[in-house]
Structure 1
């Protein structure tokens, strides 16, 4: 059984959580056990680390439980490859996180907040859905059902995920993923225009805390500036 730890800096709001370094190892091993490509697993693990760093910053600025939000952000995508349908990977991850917390003896109320936040971080819905998703993971385990409304901490996990998804790193990764440099100029123009149209819609999203929302808008503004300049240079 993994020991709990209490990590705090002066003025931080924290609780005893499973050891963060041990949780990183658990996350890495769980992702490594999937059939995803090495590149995909690497991206997912490093994305989780970036989201955890964002979570710590948000929690510190918003007065949330620092250790809890950081841990929830670290584990938010642990079920990425465990769902039968991609939209369910948060709910699949909630199963994994709940089991991990039980093994670690992490039974504080905030553990349930983290699990609920992981469950809902993809689509804002913590309970199983029968329209796009299913009611169980790829191994046949039924998804969890939650009764109470999600806390600010739970909702903040998805906020931090979104902040990283529209980061500077994501610009580079997206251009690589779509093989931008091998597109024709016309295709590049079309891609930039479509990206800006999608980006415009993201401004309607409201984060659960002011610090997270400020980071969110800053990232959107940065991407908007980049793709607007790119579009202009393409002529």
Structure 2
């Protein structure tokens, strides 16, 4: 069995055995779906950027493994990359692959949330691609749906809807200042942002048409 298949089985097994997630079926399914999307994005970037595809995909598969445990505090959530690296270290070190790649992917897992690690490592393109793939998925279409569902937009007054969508356009536009490590990551990132900006701009224009004060 190759290393990627081993990692998929490892991830599925840990999620299936998680006491915290045993009654949280939707949360479990979302985290797994997100994990596999991030791995798919990482694979695309690795292929186009001539990175080690296997190591990149494995790092992406392991990046959120710490969600098998409850996160109580803000610090828990900020540190979940380091926790994921800690949990998966023994598994990774047992894989049949170059030792340098093992360390590189674990470092990428550790830094993917807040750019901090509790062990030394280099911020290589491969290591950075793990966090960048995570961020790219976080700004894709499903997260747009989630944001709208959580906003209770249909319960807002028109002025609140105008304010909400204006803030969304401005906030997402500012995110375009972030520059990722690779050309492929940057393109995927900006494509996702542009889609959301366009959607919220169109939504804002529709709300503006509802304002009789402009007639």
TM-score normalised per structure 2: 0.84
Number of aligned residues:
203
Whether the 8 Å contact between 1:18 and 1:104 is mirrored in structure 2 is no
Distance in 2, matches of 1:207 and 1:158, equals 10
The residue that corresponds to 2:106 in the other structure is: 115
Distance in 2, matches of 1:150 and 1:218, equals 24
1:70 aligns with 2:57: yes
The residue that corresponds to 2:19 in the other structure is: 33
The residue that corresponds to 2:88 in the other structure is: 97
Tell which structure's C-alpha radius of gyration is larger: 2
Deviation string for 1:144-182 (max 9, x for gaps)? x32232221001111111111111121112111223333
SS of match in other structure, 2:65: coil
TM-score normalised per structure 1: 0.78
Q: Closer, same or farther in 2 for the Cα pair 1:184/1:116, shift >3 Å?
A: same
The residue that corresponds to 1:50 in the other structure is: 37
Distance in 2, matches of 1:147 and 1:75, equals 19
CA drift of 1:191 comes to 1.8
**RMSD of equivalent CA atoms:** 2.2
SS of match in other structure, 1:206: coil
The residue that corresponds to 1:189 in the other structure is: 162
The one of 169, 173, 198 aligned to 2:146: 173
The one of 116, 124, 140 aligned to 1:125: 116
Mapping 1:201-220, distance limit 5 Å: 201-220=174-193
Any stretches of 5+ residues in structure 1 without a counterpart? 6-15, 127-144
Q: Which has more helix, going by share of residues?
A: 2
Whether the 8 Å contact between 1:82 and 1:93 is mirrored in structure 2 is no
The residue that corresponds to 1:8 in the other structure is: none
Distance in 2, matches of 1:184 and 1:99, equals 53
Whether the 8 Å contact between 1:17 and 1:106 is mirrored in structure 2 is no
Distance in 1, matches of 2:8 and 2:61, equals 10
